[in-house]
Amino acid sequence: MTEIQAMMENQRAFYNSGQTKDISFRIKQLNILKHAIEENEEKIFQALHEDLRKSPYEAYLTEVGIVRDELRHMVKKVQKWARPKRVPTPIYHIPSSSYIYPEPYGIALIISPWNYPFQLAVTPLAAAMAAGNCAVIKPSEFSAYTSQVLAELFETYFDPSYISVITGNADVSTALLAEKFDYIFFTGSPAVGKIVMAAAAKHLTPVTLELGGKSPCIVDADTNIDLTAKRIVSGKFINAGQTCIAPDYLMVHQSVKEPLVDRIIHYIQKFYGIKPGKSPDYPKIINKKHFDRLLGLTKDATIMCGGDADPDQQIIAPTLLSNIDGDHPSMQEEIFGPILPVMEFDNLSDAIARINERPRPLALYLFSNDQKSIDEVLKNVSFGGGCINDTLIHFATPNLPFGGVGNSGMGGYHGKFGFDTFSHRKSVMRSTLRFDFPFRYPTFYKHLKLLKTVLR
Ligand code: NAD
């Protein structure tokens, strides 16, 4: 028996013991996790700095703080969410009553990426725990320091038969995917998402796929140029652009392109300085492969700002590209780095048509004061989620489901949506044996007309 198979057996036994069904157990474990994160905050910050050169502020804002808030919300609400819910019953089922029982799937596998390596492993885990599952986390091999901290943290505070962290590369993922899990929650690229879904199909295991893609940012003619530029810079260059929901490319109304680009350059310099490598608040690119890939995307474009790169520190300055068309290398793949191609449009419906030629994006951002433009975009473009007049903030609320559509994923989570994702909804109709109506029995089959008056 392999180590993974032994771990699966232990988790199966733990799940079958029924402990996770108890809501007070779940609340206790969520509080232990909260406490473990508090006690190890410094270690988590250090690991995120080693992996991505994140500052403690950015690490708290986009990783630790989000997880803590999610845990707080789960602890407060899980009792209510886990209760069986009575729902209406059609009149022809009288005197029965109908209930939905949320129940855990069993053992969940959570595979996470390197760009927010703490948050994207622990936020889904919190939902899996709240819903009463055991879980195995497989964090990314590219954010090795954070993966190590995760492994140590869970080993210290949790029974591995309940929560395990298995570190390693894609081979480890492959070995895990060969096992029969009861739910798989994957965050990563569409290419690997297909591999995960194919592996899940072999066991008919349900999946959530949180994938990526090219998320457009549209800037309409009628907007506040200064604030638009500020919010685009903050959303694009946080984590040096290595954010699944970062604006991937800009589509700007030609009448405002020049002033917008001026203000974007102003805010890049204000936030990160002329030489971003010197700024302690500007992250690095995760590895040499991505560093080289990103520099390749700037070829044959006009660089309006940035373009500098420091191979020793693996830092690429915030870079704005123009003279781009849909065939440019930067428009062929998800950029996932601090490079922002700027394209123009004359007419909003043309911009929408160009966006709709591509797979459905994970996020979309529209800056506009014009309600007609807002309605046109919302009506005609399908995307996972997004913002009007802002970037990224739709991610940080428990009240909106976060997830993609089509090529950018399936399913969603955060808050109650995460609890629902990791719960099977068991439907139960409760009847009585005290009396009986004859309608369903063959002895009544001659009364079709009467049946039609009830079942219309
Ligand atoms: P990735 O798909 O390369 O890897 C993600 C995870 O899958 C890692 O743990 C990795 O070890 C594992 N993996 C890699 N190859 C595998 C294989 N052949 N079989 C099984 N598992 C395998 O993604 P990444 O480079 O870590 O992250 C970048 C991608 O993730 C981008 O596309 C980005 O948009 C997306 N992403 C999406 C979200 C979201 O919430 N929707 C969040 C962050 C990143």
Q: Kindly report the CATH number assigned to the domain that includes residue 375.
A: 3.40.309.10
Q: Are residues 168 and 286 in the same domain?
A: no
448 in a domain, yes or no? no
- Number of the ligand 1 atom closest to the C-alpha atom of 402: 40
Nearest to 368 by CA among 220, 216, 217, 215: 220
142 in a domain, yes or no? yes
- Number of the ligand 1 atom closest to the C-alpha atom of 114: 26
Q: Are residues 122 and 258 in the same domain?
A: no
Cα of 249 vs centre of ligand 1, distance in Å, is 21
55 in a domain, yes or no? yes
Q: Are residues 18 and 31 in the same domain?
A: yes
291 lines ligand 1 (CB under 6 A): no
Q: Are residues 299 and 420 in the same domain?
A: no
Cα end-to-end distance, the chain, whole Å: 58
Cα of 188 vs centre of ligand 1, distance in Å, is 3
Active-site residue (options: 63, 70, 179, 210): 210
165 in a domain, yes or no? yes
Q: Are residues 204 and 154 in the same domain?
A: yes
Nearest to 256 by CA among 364, 94, 370, 146: 370
Q: Are residues 344 and 416 in the same domain?
A: no
Give me the tens of pLDDT residue by residue for the chain, a chain 456 residues long: 899 999 999 999 999 999 999 999 999 999 999 999 999 999 999 999 999 999 999 999 999 999 999 999 999 999 999 999 999 999 889 899 999 999 999 999 999 999 999 999 999 999 999 999 999 999 999 999 999 999 999 999 999 999 999 999 999 999 999 999 999 999 999 999 999 999 999 999 999 999 999 999 999 999 999 999 999 999 999 999 999 999 999 999 999 999 999 999 999 999 998 787 788 889 999 999 999 999 999 988 999 999 999 999 999 999 999 988 889 999 999 999 999 999 999 999 999 999 999 999 999 999 999 999 999 999 999 999 999 999 999 999 999 999 999 999 999 999 999 999 999 999 999 999 999 988 899 999 999 999 898 888
Q: Are residues 197 and 84 in the same domain?
A: yes
188 lines ligand 1 (CB under 6 A): yes
450 in a domain, yes or no? no
387 is catalytic: no
400 in a domain, yes or no? no
Strand order in the sheet with 163-165: 163-165, 134-138, 107-111, 183-187, 207-210, 409-410
Q: Are residues 174 and 268 in the same domain?
A: no
Residue ranges making up the domain that contains 257: 216-395
334 lines ligand 1 (CB under 6 A): yes
197 in a domain, yes or no? yes
Q: Are residues 242 and 129 in the same domain?
A: no
The dihedral over CA atoms of 111, 114, 116, 119, expressed in degrees to the nearest 10, equals: 30
115 lines ligand 1 (CB under 6 A): yes
Q: Are residues 182 and 113 in the same domain?
A: yes
Cα of 109 vs centre of ligand 1, distance in Å, is 14
344 is catalytic: no
Cα of 388 vs centre of ligand 1, distance in Å, is 27
Reading the block at residue 4, the tokens are 């993974």
The domain tally of the chain equals 2
User: Could you give the C-alpha distances from 306 to 275, 439, 444, in angstroms and in order?
Assistant: 9, 76, 80
User: Strand locations in 112-152, DSSP E?
Assistant: 134-138
**Token pair 């310099």 in the structure block, residue:** 269
114 lines ligand 1 (CB under 6 A): yes
> Which helix or strand (DSSP H or E) is residue 13 part of?
helix 3-16
- Number of the ligand 1 atom closest to the C-alpha atom of 210: 41
pLDDT of residue 277: 74
Candidate from 62, 210, 244 with most ligand 1 atoms within 8 A of CB, to mutate: 244
Cα of 189 vs centre of ligand 1, distance in Å, is 4
Q: Are residues 230 and 284 in the same domain?
A: yes
210 lines ligand 1 (CB under 6 A): yes
* Amino acid (one-letter) located at 301: A
